[in-house]
């Protein structure tokens, strides 16, 4: 089961929803809402632990960050692991987590193996 959108590629792997952002992606509130809508349509009422491959994201504005951390946007998610590929991305991700308190467990990782291991505890 897969879904490809202009902003993110979604698939389910080992009971984990994997979202891979497209290259050179700039996320504003409108794009964030489209990403969430696509995910919720794709997964329906099933709840998933989510692995987010964020290497394609080059910017995300404050409104998008606040929305993505909101209860509305996290419906259907049990936890999110965000994989980043640079120290700067890691800094930004941790800043995002400190400023925008998500309603689900969220953690930043440097690789998918560690992220998937952490997500195992949230698979229902």
pLDDT > 80? residue 124: no
Overall domain count for the chain: 1
Q: How far is CA 102 from CA 9, 52, 122, in A?
A: 22, 15, 15
CB 17 within 8 A of CB 10: yes
- The CATH number of residue 99's host domain is 3.30.750.24
Q: How far is CA 39 from CA 9, 36, 46, 99, 115, in A?
A: 10, 5, 11, 24, 19
The 10s digit of each residue's pLDDT in 84-93 is 887 767 777 7
Cα distance from N-terminal residue to C-terminal residue, the chain: 18
pLDDT > 80? residue 48: yes
The 3-state DSSP class for residue 93 equals helix
pTM of the model: 0.90
CB 81 within 8 A of CB 107: yes
The 10s digit of each residue's pLDDT in 56-85 is 888 889 899 889 989 999 999 999 999 988
**What is the pLDDT confidence band of residue 11, given thresholds at 50, 70 and 90?**
very high
Q: Note down the domain range covering 58.
A: 2-122
């Amino acid at each position: 089961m897969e879904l490809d959108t202009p902003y993110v590629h979604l698939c389910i792997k080992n009971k984990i929803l994997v979202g891979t952002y497209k290259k050179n992606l700039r996320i504003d509130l409108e794009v964030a809402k489209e990403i969430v809508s696509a995910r919720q349509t794709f997964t329906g009422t099933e709840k998933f632990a989510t692995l987010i491959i964020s290497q394609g994201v080059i910017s995300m504005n404050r409104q998008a960050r606040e929305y993505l951390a909101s209860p509305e946007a996290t419906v259907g998610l049990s936890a999110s692991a965000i994989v980043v590929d640079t120290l700067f991305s890691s800094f930004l991700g941790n800043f995002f987590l400190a400023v925008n308190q998500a309603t689900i467990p969220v953690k930043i990782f440097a690789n998918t193996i560690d992220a998937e291991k952490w997500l195992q505890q949230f698979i229902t």
